[in-house]
Structure formats: C-alpha cells, structure tokens
Structure 1
Amino acid sequence: MHYFRENKKTIFLLVAPGFAFFLMAVLFPIGLSVYYALTDWSGIGGFNYIGFRNFQRVLQDRIFWHSLKNAATLALMTITIQHPIAFLFAVLIDRLGGKLEKVFKTIFFIPCVIPVMVTSKMWVNIYNSQYGLLNKVLELIGLGFLKQQWLGDPKIVLYSLVLIMMWQGFGWAVLIYYAGVKSLPEEVFEAAKIDGANRCQTLFRITIPLMQPVIAVNVIWAVISSLKQMETIYLTTNGGPGNASQFLANYLYIKAFDAYEFAYGNAISVFFVVVCLLTTVVLNRLLTRKEYY
C-alpha cells in the first residue's frame, strides 16, 4: 500500500481514466456551452462572435428570474411539507417491523419506479377540468365550488405542479430517511427508555439530532432536484399558461431547440450550472458540521 502512495506514475495511471471521463463528460461540455454562449448561433448554419450580450440578456430576462423563483418555491415547499411527512413515515415504518414494514416500504416507493411520463400523464388526467378525477370527487362530496382549471389557471398552476413533483419524489425522501433511521444505534434508544423518555422526547431529543447529517443530505438533494426539474413540466404544462409554471431546465430547452436560439440557451445553461454550484456550496456550508464526520 505504501508503494502505491509513493509511486506517482502508478497514482497517475489510476486517476487518469476517471479524470479523462470527468473531462469529457463534464468540463468539456461546460466549456463548449460557454463558447457557444459568446456567439449568435441559432443551432443551424454559421455564427458570429458577440461577446457577453447573451449573458447580459439573461440577467434582464424576466422569465429566467421567474423560472428561478418557481424552482425556489418548489424547493421550499418540498423541504417544509414533503420532508417532515416523509421523515414521520420513515420513523413509523421502522417501528412497524416484520412484513408490514416491507409492504409499506414498497407502497411508498412505487411512484419512484413508475416512469415520469406515465405519472405525469396520469396527473394531467386527474387535473382535467372537464372529466378529471379531482373535480369529479369535489363535486361528489359537495365541494363543487372548489373545482378549478388546475393546470390552466396561472394563479394555481405552480402549486398543482408542485403537488405532482412532491408526490413523485416522496418515495425517495422516505427511503433516505428510513435508511438513516435504520442506521441509528439501538443502545442509545434503550438507554433513553431506561431513563424514562417517552416517544415524543425520544423523537425530538435523540432521533432528529442524530439524523442531522441525513437531513442535510436530503435537503441539499431536494434543492438541487428542484432546480433541475424538467420532465414533469415539459409533459404537463410546458411552462404554461404563459410562463406561469416555467422552470429553468425547461426554459433553456425551449430557447435552444424550439425557438432556435441555441447560443442564448447555452448562456442560460451556464447560469444554470453556476446557480447549482453556488447553491450546493452554500447549503453544504450551512447544513454540514465537522463533528458529524
């Protein structure tokens, strides 16, 4: 082992394949995006160098900032609504034990294994204002006055989409929290039980503090996933009506491939990468502590 650490040639040979893959799969595409963002290329034919005009345009683009705001709304609602519920279910599933534990793990993870296209189309039908299940149920239970055009009203379309995406990702959140709960040392809980701690005290004074590293990972994952959301938006509203439900990834796709503004789409993607990196760094600083390692 000491030989491998001292031999620089061996270290280089071991690291080179991974670094080459990282260079070609990550750094090179980012560099190419920066290059194209400095041009006026439409995606077809020739192009001219225009400097930083596309980047200036992004900074003045209301839809870009609205898309970023929508992603922040999704992240906030995921962390404050989905995660507490997922955490609670993870604890309850752990306490069930036996066959019921396996059954509920499977049930909660089902939305994660169904293709996004299938679940998105299913929710489009549920939300349909004429024959959708949601409006039919509301009418059936005497709440017909609450019927809405769930994906057609700019005021509520974002929240309708947030519900879909939280439902789709609920199983992942439960699974991560469940794995964290399962890894907690049993002797700590046994000691708390001997000391007379009830379930509520055990949850808030032992389980949650010990789960802080897992919670941090799940929060970071939720925020980054919110920034990268595209498939569900594309398959349900495509950012509409207007751009009320627009998200960054979907917006840059529209600009690059639908509007034939390939260079501008690349400028958005560069900002997109920067936002994701900054968000990850900031959240890592805020949510991780040295004593957890």
Structure 2
Amino acid sequence: MHKIMSDRRTIFFLIAPGMLLFAMMIFIPILVSFYYSLTNWDGVGGYEFIGFGNYKEIFSHDSVFGYSLLNSVLLGLGLVLIQHPFSIIIAMLIQYCGRWEKFLQVCIFIPAIISTFVTTKLWSSIFDTQFGLLNQVLDILRLSDWKQDWLGDSTWAIICIIFVCMWQGFGYAFLLYYAGIKGVPKDLYEAAMLDGASPIQLNTRIVLPLLAPVLRVNIVLAVVAAFKQMETVYLLTSGGPANSTQFLSTYLYSKAFRESVYGYGNAISVLLVVICLIVTVILNRSMRREVGEY
C-alpha cells in the first residue's frame, strides 16, 4: 500500500476519473456560463459579445438583484441565529425523553423527508387569505385585527418564506447536532457527573464546545443553502409581490427563462457561485480556531 501511495503515476490514475467527472459536471459548465455571461444571448439564435456589460448593469442599475441578495442574507441569518440554536437545544433535551426519544426523532425529521412541493403547498394553503387555517384560527381566537394577506404583503411574505424554509430544514440541522452529541464519549459524561456537574453545565461546558466541528459544517451548509434557495420561494410567491421576495436563484430563473435574457441570467449565476465560494472560505477561516477534537 505504501508503494502504491508513493507512486505519483498510480495516484494520478486513481484520481483522474473523479477529477474528469468534476470537470465535466461542475468546472466546465461554470466556464461556459461565464462565457455566456459576457454576451447578450437570449437563449436562441445568435448573440453579441458585450464584455462585462451584464455585470455593470447588475451592480449599477439592477435594484432587484440587491433585494435578492438581501433576502438571501436574511434567510442565512435566520437559519444560523434562530434555526440552529433551537435545533441544538432540542438535540440536547431529547436525550432526556427516555422511551419517547426515538419517536420524537422521527417526528422532528418528518418535514425534511416530505417532498418540498407538498410541504410548500401545505403552507401556501395555511397562509391563504380567505380560507387559510392561520386566519381562521385568528378569527376563532377573536384576533381578527391580526389577520393579514400573508403572502400578498411584501413584509409578511418574506417572513413567511424564511419561517417555512427554517421549518423544512430543521430536521437536517437537528440530525447533525444530535449525531454530534451522540458521538461525545460517555467517559466525559461520567467524569463530569462524578465532579458534580448539573445537566445544564454538562451540556454548556462539555457538549457544546465539542460540537464546534459539527457547528462549522452546519453553518456553512445553511448559509450556502440560503443563497441557493429556489423551490420554496418559487412555489410560495414566485418572487412576488413586486419582486420583494426574489432570491438569487429565483431571480436567475426569472431572467433566464421568463424574460429570455439568458446572458444576463448567466451573469447572475456566476455571481452566485462566486458569493457562495467567498462565504464558504470566510466561514471556514473564521471558525477554524473554534474547532475542537475528542
């Protein structure tokens, strides 16, 4: 085995298929997309090479792109600051539920395994202005003044989208944290309990610091997922009302396939890839010192 791993030619032939697949499926499409982002192609027929004209338009005149980026950032903050702390707490508490632990695990993870189309249509019905469950419950509670056009008002629409996205992804975040907690050696629990540590001290001073590697991975995945968010937004509001709930992915789709501004859509896709790479590098470097081992 040592001879094989020290032979550069053997190493090259071992990794070549994977690298070729990576190039064909990811790297080359990104280069092609960058090329078309420098044109005014509408997806059919000929086109003209306009250089960085699409990028200049995005940064100088396209306010919708700014709203899309802001909405993606808001979703990322919601996932990191609301969904993840809550999922960590639930993952810690569920260990003390005894025989109900496995049942609760299944219940928590159910939204994550149901089709996005089904769950989104469910919430769309709940938020419906006339027949939605939410407004009906408010009527029953005599809180009719609180009734809203939840998906028709720009402020409430983005709040509803962020809530639904957090609800859908809660199971995955919970699962990773739960697995990380279960991976903590029992010796540490026993030693801490012998020293008189309470359950709160056990989780805050031992378990939580040891979750740093899982926390870093989970945060990176959540932020990248926020920038790539597409299906839920498209099915709930399609970016409306008045483009107030556009995200980068939905805005890209709208430009490329609805307005047939294919070159412009490719420019947005390239910027999306660049933003995701920059955010990933920044998060990994900023949280590197927080990673612990056990």
1:84 — aligned with what? 85
Contact 1:41 1:262 in 2 (8 A): yes
Q: In the alignment, residue 16 of structure 1 is paired with which amino acid?
A: A
2:65 — aligned with what? 64
TM-score of the superposed pair, with normalisation by structure 1: 0.97
Matches within 5 A, 1:89-104: 89-98=90-99, 100-104=100-104
Q: Deviations over 1:153-198 (max 9, x none)?
A: 0121100111111110010111011001000111111111111111
Contact 1:255 1:261 in 2 (8 A): yes
TM-score of the superposed pair, with normalisation by structure 2: 0.97
Contact 1:94 1:181 in 2 (8 A): no
Taking the aligned partners of 1:55 and 1:185, their CA distance within structure 2 comes to 51
Taking the aligned partners of 2:45 and 2:291, their CA distance within structure 1 comes to 56
Taking the aligned partners of 1:77 and 1:197, their CA distance within structure 2 comes to 32
Taking the aligned partners of 1:79 and 1:288, their CA distance within structure 2 comes to 17
Q: Deviations over 1:97-151 (max 9, x none)?
A: 44x2111111011001111011111111000010000000111112111110000
Q: Deviations over 1:218-256 (max 9, x none)?
A: 111111111100000111101100011110000001100
CA RMSD of aligned residues (A): 1.2
1:168 — aligned with what? 168
Taking the aligned partners of 2:291 and 2:157, their CA distance within structure 1 comes to 43
Taking the aligned partners of 2:74 and 2:32, their CA distance within structure 1 comes to 31
Sequence identity (%): 46
1:289 — aligned with what? 289
2:25 — aligned with what? 25
Taking the aligned partners of 2:291 and 2:219, their CA distance within structure 1 comes to 19
After TM superposition, give the deviation of residue 203 of structure 1 in Å.
1.8
1:240 — aligned with what? 240
1:41 — aligned with what? 41
After TM superposition, give the deviation of residue 12 of structure 1 in Å.
1.5
Taking the aligned partners of 2:87 and 2:250, their CA distance within structure 1 comes to 27
SS in 2 for 1:263: helix
The alignment of Structure 1 onto Structure 2 pairs a total of residues equal to: 292
Taking the aligned partners of 1:78 and 1:244, their CA distance within structure 2 comes to 20
Taking the aligned partners of 1:30 and 1:223, their CA distance within structure 2 comes to 21
Mean Cα displacement is larger for which, 14-23 or 135-144?
A: 135-144
After TM superposition, give the deviation of residue 290 of structure 1 in Å.
7.8
5+ residue gaps in structure 1?
none
Q: Deviations over 1:54-110 (max 9, x none)?
A: 111111221111111101111111111111111111112223244x21111110110
2:151 — aligned with what? 151
Q: In the alignment, residue 5 of structure 1 is paired with which amino acid?
A: M
5+ residue gaps in structure 2?
none
1:109 — aligned with what? 109
Taking the aligned partners of 1:144 and 1:291, their CA distance within structure 2 comes to 49
Contact 1:94 1:182 in 2 (8 A): no
Q: In the alignment, residue 229 of structure 1 is paired with which amino acid?
A: Q
